[in-house]
């Protein structure tokens, strides 16, 4: 297995001069790495203890605007500091940058308490609740994204209008087409592997220029750390090679969207607790309860799987992106799919999440829903069959950010498991995104109505 660096390994590398820079990062609400570049000597001598950042980092939008309405911080309270506490278990080399290592931080207040709305803290809380029940969650999040011929800078300077995918045709499982992308994908796989991520494979996806990266399933916190680092690396390595990578779920109305499917199973002391060989589908009662919770509360937590206006453009009939909160056996049209039926790898795959999800938040709310299903011994309905897009009896995934935001605000379940402060914080974030969108006059409105209205 690939490994991270111990703190002693890092000190040795710094003394030998092979590492001179340490990226000290937190994960923000959008799932991005934010932080500082330390001189490695300063890091190993003092800053490994802690450093500080403005507390607005967990209360900005994607453009770094400072919306009002957050209880945790504001202009009135003067935007003070948080403590960034390096988690020394997460030190790793960053092989695609010269002489560089990285560490992820937990975010604490001045009383050394975890900041409740910090994504890492939100996931850790649900992992601890699951541990009290005696289980460990193993998760895998698939990363889908598009590569473009031009660089991000060129595309931005052109107003995001000239978007030419790196390849000319649907490259699903396509070896020849993806060979042409190996100048970007091979360094992504190999650098991430050398950074301690258990990379499984990359493959072409079902659209021109679309790739998928798969990382081996891992304990939930590791999985979220891997996802975040991998997403960052994909953008950075593509940029180094003069190309753009985007995780926008739907960059063109006629092109397939990008998702992030989340595979989930519960284990105890190395035993897969979702497996019951005597069941028709090899599913344990525990798995059925977990899935019942996952499905019942999907409309409540969809915001955390689809946090932007654009996220909802992906949910279209006949595209492999789901629209219904039902489960099925190895059927890609439902929101939840049973995979590995009857084997040690039996698991549920949630197919709702877009490539823009924050993996800490997505995993946390799904774990919470699964835990609720276990605690209340919820009953799992029979699996759906055939094309579930047209199943009138099946529940719907919220179709817009507005609907998902209202579900989040009104969710007694999420208020109970995450806390009112966390739900209010993320509801405000969703509301702000809608307010920003509502202020914009779009190209579509102009073209549609300018002459004909
Ligand atoms: P697919 O054919 O759907 O891509 P894969 O066999 O590649 O399926 O597996 C998809 C993901 O599921 C991989 O990242 C893999 O590590 C993960 N996975 C496999 N077994 C489990 C498990 N028991 N729990 C959670 N994730 C798992």
Q: Does 409 contact ligand 1 (Cβ within 6 A)?
A: no
- What values do phi and psi take at 325, rounded to 5? -90, 65
Q: Does 262 contact ligand 1 (Cβ within 6 A)?
A: no
Per-residue pLDDT tens for 95-120? 999 999 999 999 999 899 999 999 99
Per-residue pLDDT tens for 190-238? 999 999 999 999 999 999 999 999 999 999 999 999 999 999 999 999 9
> Where does 171-245 have alpha helices with state H?
175-179, 182-194, 220-240
**Which residue ranges make up each domain of the chain?**
7-115, 126-444
Same topology for domains 7-115 and 126-444, yes or no? Answer: no
Q: What is the ipTM of this complex?
A: 0.92
Q: Does 325 contact ligand 1 (Cβ within 6 A)?
A: no
Cα–Cα distance for residue pair 400/437, rounded to 1 Å? 12
Burial class (CB in 10 A: 0-12, 13-18, 19+), 289: buried
Q: What is the pLDDT of residue 2?
A: 56
Q: Evaluate if residue 145 carries a pLDDT over 70.
A: yes
State the CATH architecture for 7-115: Roll (3.10)
- Rounded alpha-carbon distances, angstroms, from residue 368 to 27, 36, 434: 20, 32, 26
Length of the chain measured in residues: 453
Is the Cβ–Cβ distance between 330 and 313 less than 8 Å? no
Is the Cβ–Cβ distance between 22 and 100 less than 8 Å? yes
Q: Does 394 contact ligand 1 (Cβ within 6 A)?
A: no
Per-residue pLDDT tens for 298-349? 999 999 999 999 999 998 777 667 778 889 997 777 899 999 999 999 999 9
Q: Give the number of other CB atoms < 10 A from CB of residue 20.
A: 15
- The residue to mutate among 135, 206, 212, 217, having the most atoms of ligand 1 within 8 angstroms of its beta carbon, is 217
Alpha carbon of 214 to ligand 1 centroid (Å): 8
Q: Evaluate if residue 1 carries a pLDDT over 60.
A: no
Q: Whose CA is nearest to atom 23 of ligand 1?
A: 345
Q: Does 347 contact ligand 1 (Cβ within 6 A)?
A: yes
CATH code: domain 126-444 is 3.30.590.10
């Amino acid at each position: 297995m690939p490994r991270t660096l111990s703190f002693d390994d890092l000190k040795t590398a710094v003394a030998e001069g092979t590492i001179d820079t340490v990226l000290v990062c937190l994960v923000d609400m959008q799932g991005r790495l934010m932080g500082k570049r330390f001189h490695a000597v300063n890091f190993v001598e003092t800053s490994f203890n802690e450093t500080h950042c403005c507390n607005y980092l967990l209360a900005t939008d994607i453009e770094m605007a400072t919306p009002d309405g957050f209880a945790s911080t504001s202009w009135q309270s003067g935007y003070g500091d948080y403590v960034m506490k390096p988690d020394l278990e997460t030190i790793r080399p960053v092989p695609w940058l010269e002489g560089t290592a990285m560490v992820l931080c937990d975010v604490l207040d001045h009383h050394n308490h975890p900041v409740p709305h910090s994504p890492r803290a939100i996931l850790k809380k649900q992992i601890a609740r699951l541990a009290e029940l005696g289980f460990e969650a193993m998760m895998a999040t698939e990363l889908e994204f598009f590569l473009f011929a031009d660089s991000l800078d060129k595309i931005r300077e052109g107003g995001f209008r000239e978007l030419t995918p790196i390849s000319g045709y649907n490259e699903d499982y396509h070896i020849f087409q993806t060979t042409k992308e190996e100048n970007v994908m091979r360094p992504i796989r190999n650098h991430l592997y050398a950074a301690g991520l258990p990379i499984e494979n990359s493959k072409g996806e079902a659209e021109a220029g679309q790739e998928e990266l798969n990382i081996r399933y891992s304990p939930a916190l590791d999985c979220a750390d891997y996802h975040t680092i991998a997403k960052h690396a994909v953008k950075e390595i593509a940029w180094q090679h003069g190309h753009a990578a985007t995780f926008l779920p739907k960059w063109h109305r006629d092109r397939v969207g990008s998702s992030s499917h989340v595979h989930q199973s519960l284990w105890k002391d190395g035993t897969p607790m979702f497996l019951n060989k005597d069941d028709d589908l090899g599913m344990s009662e525990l798995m059925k309860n977990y899935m019942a919770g996952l499905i019942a509360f999907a409309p409540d937590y969809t915001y955390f799987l689809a946090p932007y206006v654009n996220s909802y453009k992906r949910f279209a009939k006949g595209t492999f992106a789901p629209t219904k909160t039902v489960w099925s056996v190895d059927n890609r049209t439902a929101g939840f799919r049973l995979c590995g039926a009857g084997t040690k790898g039996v698991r549920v795959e949630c197919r709702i999440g877009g490539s823009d999800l924050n993996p800490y938040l997505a995993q946390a709310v799904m774990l919470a829903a699964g835990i609720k299903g276990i605690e209340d011994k919820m009953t799992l309905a029979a699996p759906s069959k055939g094309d579930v897009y047209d199943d009138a009896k099946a529940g719907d995934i919220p179709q817009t950010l507005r609907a998902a935001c209202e579900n989040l605000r009104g969710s007694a379940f999420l208020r109970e498991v995450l806390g009112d402060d966390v739900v209010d914080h993320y509801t405000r974030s969703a509301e702000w995104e809608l307010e920003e969108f509502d202020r914009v006059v779009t190209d579509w409105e102009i073209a549609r109505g300018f002459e004909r209205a």
